[in-house]
């Protein structure tokens, strides 16, 4: 209580001090993009550039560009109606998110954050759910890779493909992605706000983010320019996409996306962060729209089981190891060295035994001859498959796995769920009661039924106290998996946005005015 009073006092003092000037700040309390006029729409091309032109004019300098109508050459553009997807791909599994990023993960037919295409399409118009998933391999034959990516280094460094589908009304946070992307819209419209990486010094980046990706702590609906005054200096452009358009989005380019339409569907193809482009073979290459299924893509997903969405780039991983090993005194990777590297990076910070196990597994891949170390020649010899195995160890994403629900819900909550269900049944646990209490934990009916089956009840829908006592320890083991992520952006974003809202609420109470007033001319260029 004392902490809350101190915070409230500080907040009131803060808003009182700025009340006289707050209305003079253009865009304060308004949606992202109202703080200054845009620098205009990004460049639009009516025809595709050659691979060299694409490299020289866009990819090499990280310049976004709209490729008007390029997606209309995909068979998916005409084929992917809801009935067609249900009939041909309905049983394939996809990942789910909420319509607004970092909010509660929805439950699908296959568990928390996981659904079948059929189940999703039957309900997506009515629910707060958004398909954000790695593209299942069977759909790849109806997606095309643009001709400008079909030779030289581009064609060798295509990483993964993702599928985005909603009933519109989705809104992302301001964020940046780790890899280059060609994002092609198949249905609906999308409005993009695009911010060059040079502006990052004026963007409040969430603590805990790592690498080339990341999130800003801004509330994109009500930007707090008192709390983040430097953001007033951020320049931005916009891009308006309609069905059939593609956007080249450079890696680490800050952006926010707003989606519209009764059905909004897009496919993105990701490729490496390249520092140079070898155009060998481009002159003789047959440059045409090529089925994604015919491309040697690094990370694929069969449509069932764990996904590899967002996994590390194995080519860059190898380059980094080769650079790193040159600066080690004996130019050797050992378990101790790898363990210390993981420790310094904050990986599984409170779990040294897990870090030690990771280091051992990585060295076993680097050193297949079991010498006890890996040298530069060993790293040079690593294949893409070996590097992918290392990437799986280094950067696991629980949301990609079928165990996500077990990792998300705590052991204590599951234990309490069973206790409440037993109490409600006077010493007996019914299936319906377990489902009801487990769903209160934001778990799925599917997993609740699986847990009930693990009790091995003699009756079909009722388990006894003895059956629960016997099997509950085994059930709780499922929920004891360690979930430690280096990406804490979601937690930081939530904390900062809550603080923003409290400041705005206190301000309104103090000045008793409309925060939309006095912001001057705020052009809505979207």
- Ordered DSSP codes for 469-504: HHHHHHHHHTT------S--HHHHHHHHHHHHHHHH
Task: Walk along the chain (526 residues) and give the pLDDT tens digit of each residue.
Answer: 444 444 445 444 444 455 555 557 899 989 999 999 999 999 999 999 999 999 999 999 999 999 999 999 999 999 999 999 999 999 999 999 887 666 688 999 999 999 999 999 999 988 888 999 999 999 999 999 999 999 999 999 999 999 999 998 889 999 999 999 999 999 999 999 999 999 999 999 987 655 678 899 989 999 999 999 999 999 999 999 999 999 999 999 999 999 999 999 999 999 999 999 999 999 999 899 999 999 999 999 999 999 999 999 999 999 999 999 999 989 999 999 999 999 988 888 889 999 999 999 999 999 999 999 999 999 999 999 999 999 999 988 888 888 899 999 999 999 999 999 999 999 999 999 999 999 999 999 999 999 999 999 999 999 999 999 999 999 999 998 876 544 455 566 667 767 777 776 776 666 555 544 434 443 344 3
- Using alpha carbons, select from 95, 15, 91 the residue that is nearest to residue 502: 15
Residues 157 and 252 in one domain: yes
Compute the Cα dihedral for 491, 497, 501, 507 and give only its sign.
positive
Type and span of the H or E element at 268: strand 254-271
Pairing relationship of beta strands 44-45 and 65-67 according to DSSP bridges: parallel
Helices assigned H by DSSP within 68-107:
75-79, 82-89
Q: Is residue 525 part of a domain?
A: no
* Beta partners for residue 97, in sequence order: 130
Last residue of a domain, one of 238, 259, 294: 294
Q: Is residue 419 part of a domain?
A: yes
Residue 333 domain boundaries: 314-394
402, with CB counted inside 10 A (0-12, 13-18, 19+), is middle
Per the CB < 8 A criterion, the answer to whether 217 and 206 are in contact is yes
Residues 163 and 238 in one domain: yes
φ/ψ bin of 111: left (φ > 0), alpha (ψ from -120 to 50), beta (otherwise): left
**pLDDT at residue 489, as a whole number:** 52
Token pair 């009790």 is at which residue?
Answer: 455
As a whole number of angstroms, the distance between CA 61 and CA 430 comes to: 62
Residues 263 and 116 in one domain: yes
**pLDDT at residue 516, as a whole number:** 47
**pLDDT at residue 488, as a whole number:** 53
* Beta partners for residue 258, in sequence order: 171, 191
Last residue of a domain, one of 394, 416, 448: 394
Residues 135 and 240 in one domain: yes
Residues 346 and 419 in one domain: no
Q: Is residue 15 part of a domain?
A: no
Residues 330 and 264 in one domain: no
Residues 120 and 232 in one domain: yes
Residues 210 and 131 in one domain: yes
What is the CATH number for 472? Answer: 1.10.238.10
Q: Is residue 74 part of a domain?
A: yes
What letter does residue 347 receive in the DSSP assignment? Answer: T
pTM of the predicted structure, to 2 decimals = 0.88
Residues 363 and 460 in one domain: no
**pLDDT at residue 491, as a whole number:** 61
Q: Is residue 10 part of a domain?
A: no
What letter does residue 168 receive in the DSSP assignment? Answer: S
As a whole number of angstroms, the distance between CA 20 and CA 516 comes to: 15
- Using alpha carbons, select from 86, 130, 89 the residue that is nearest to residue 108: 130
As a whole number of angstroms, the distance between CA 93 and CA 109 comes to: 9
Q: Is residue 306 part of a domain?
A: no
Residues 89 and 209 in one domain: yes
* Structure token digits, residue 7: 């915070």
As a whole number of angstroms, the distance between CA 240 and CA 363 comes to: 48
Q: H/E/C letters for each residue in 7-60?
A: HHHHHHHHHHHHCCCHHHCCCCCCCCCCCCCCCCECCEECCCCCHHHHHHHCHH
Per the CB < 8 A criterion, the answer to whether 92 and 222 are in contact is no
As a whole number of angstroms, the distance between CA 363 and CA 373 comes to: 7
Q: Is residue 427 part of a domain?
A: yes
**pLDDT at residue 21, as a whole number:** 55
What is the CATH number for 354? Answer: 1.10.238
Instruction: DSSP for 423-442, please give it.
Output: HHTTTEEEHHHHHHHHHTTT
Residues 334 and 241 in one domain: no
* Number of domains the chain is built from: 3
- Using alpha carbons, select from 327, 266, 264 the residue that is nearest to residue 143: 266
Per the CB < 8 A criterion, the answer to whether 64 and 42 are in contact is yes
Instruction: DSSP for 104-142, please give it.
Output: PPPEETTEETEEEHHHHHHHTTTSS-EEEEEPPGGGGGG
Residues 285 and 345 in one domain: no
Buried b (16+ CB within 10 A) or exposed e, 106-145: bbbbbbbbbbbbbbbbbebeebbbbbbbbbbbebbebbbb
**pLDDT at residue 451, as a whole number:** 97
Last residue of a domain, one of 353, 369, 394: 394
Q: Is residue 466 part of a domain?
A: yes
Token pair 């609740």 is at which residue?
Answer: 448
What is the CATH number for 250? Answer: 2.60.120.650
């Amino acid at each position: 209580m004392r902490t809350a009073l101190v915070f409230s006092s500080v907040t009131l003092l803060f808003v009182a001090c700025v009340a006289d000037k707050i209305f003079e700040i253009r865009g304060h309390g308004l949606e992202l993009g109202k703080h200054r006029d845009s620098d205009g729409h990004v460049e639009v091309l009516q025809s595709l550039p050659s691979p060299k032109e694409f490299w020289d004019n866009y990819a090499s300098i990280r310049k976004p560009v709209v490729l008007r109508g390029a997606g209309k050459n995909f068979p998916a553009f005409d084929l992917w109606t809801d009935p067609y997807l249900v009939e041909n791909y309905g049983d394939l599994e996809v990942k789910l998110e909420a319509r607004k990023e970092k909010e509660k993960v929805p439950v699908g037919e296959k568990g928390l954050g996981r659904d079948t295409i059929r189940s999703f399409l039957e309900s997506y118009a009515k629910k707060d759910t958004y398909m954000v998933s790695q593209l299942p391999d069977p759909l790849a034959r109806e997606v095309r890779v643009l001709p400008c990516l079909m030779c030289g280094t581009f064609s060798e460094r295509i990483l993964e493909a993702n599928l985005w589908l909603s009933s519109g009304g989705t809104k992302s946070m301001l964020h940046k992605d780790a890899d280059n992307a060609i994002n092609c819209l198949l249905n609906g419209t999308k409005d993009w706000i695009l911010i060059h990486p040079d502006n990052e010094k004026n963007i409040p980046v969430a603590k805990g983010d790592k690498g080339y990706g990341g999130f800003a702590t801004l509330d994109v609906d009500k930007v707090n320019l008192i709390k983040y005054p430097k953001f007033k200096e951020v320049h931005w452009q916009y891009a308006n996409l309609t069905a059939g358009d593609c956007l080249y989005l450079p890696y680490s380019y800050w952006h926010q996306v707003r989606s519209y339409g009764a059905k909004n569907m897009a496919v993105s193809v990701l490729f490496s962060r390249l520092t140079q482009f070898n155009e060998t073979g481009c002159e003789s290459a047959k440059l045409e729209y090529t089925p994604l299924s015919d491309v040697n893509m690094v990370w694929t997903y069969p449509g069932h089981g764990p996904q590899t969405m967002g996994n590390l780039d194995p080519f860059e991983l190898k380059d980094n190891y080769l650079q790193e090993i040159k600066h080690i005194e004996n130019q050797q990777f050992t378990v101790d060295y790898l363990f210390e590297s993981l420790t310094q990076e904050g990986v599984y910070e409170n779990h040294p035994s897990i870090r030690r196990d990771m280091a051992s597994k990585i060295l076993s891949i680097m050193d297949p001859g079991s010498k006890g170390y890996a040298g530069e020649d060993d790293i040079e010899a690593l294949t893409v498959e070996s590097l992918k195995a290392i990437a799986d160890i280094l950067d696991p994403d629980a949301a990609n796995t079928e165990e996500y629900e077990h990792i998300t819900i705590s052991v204590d909550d599951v234990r309490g769920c069973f206790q409440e269900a037993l109490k409600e049944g006077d010493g007996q646990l019914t299936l319906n009661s377990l489902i009801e209490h487990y769903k209160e934990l934001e778990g799925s009916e599917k997993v609740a039924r699986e847990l009930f089956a693990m009790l091995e009840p003699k009756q079909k829908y009722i388990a006894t106290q003895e059956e629960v006592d016997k099997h509950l320890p085994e059930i709780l083991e499922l929920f004891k998996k360690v979930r430690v992520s280096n990406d804490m952006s979601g937690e930081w974003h939530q904390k900062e946005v809550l603080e923003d809202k409290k400041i705005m609420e206190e301000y309104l109470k103090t000045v008793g005015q409309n925060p939309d007033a006095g912001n001057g001319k705020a052009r809505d260029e979207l």
